[in-house]
Amino acid sequence: MKSFLFLVAMTTLLSVAAVGQEKPMSKEATISGEVIDVACYLSGGARGADHIECGKACAKAGGALGILTADGKIYVSLLPDDHKNNPNHLLIDHVGHDVDAKGYVRVKGGVNGIMIRSVAMAKK
């Protein structure tokens, strides 16, 4: 009986500890960096002014856009919860440029994403 009670107590404590360590699925934040075509950047490092037209063409064809931060993290543009717009619609005119994007950041399995609510050219 003591073993059973000990097991129940430990299970309860571990469950409470695990719940306290969970991170929120998303949080509102501002992400600053260069808008990139994720596939071209990952496959060959393509970015910047020389890649604007190709990046826009890839985005129009359904390729993912993202934001490359100064510390090298990529935040992929995510489909909005309302599913009314393409996830690239707010970024496509900013390919190759530095922006400040406000939205909900979601991180899972090592992938960074942002559901963008607003985007503006970065202030220099």
**45-86: per-residue pLDDT in tens?**
999 999 999 999 999 999 999 999 999 999 999 977 667 788
Which residue segments constitute the domains of the chain, with CATH numbers given?
Answer: 25-121 (2.40.50)
Given a cut of 70, whether residue 4 has pLDDT beyond it is no
Which pLDDT belongs to residue 13? 37
The predicted pLDDT at position 70 comes to 96
- How far apart are alpha carbons 5 and 38 in whole angstroms? 53
| Alpha-carbon span 38 to 42, nearest angstrom | 6
pLDDT at 25: 55
Two tokens at 96? 């190759």
pTM of the model: 0.77
User: Is pLDDT of 95 > 80?
Assistant: yes
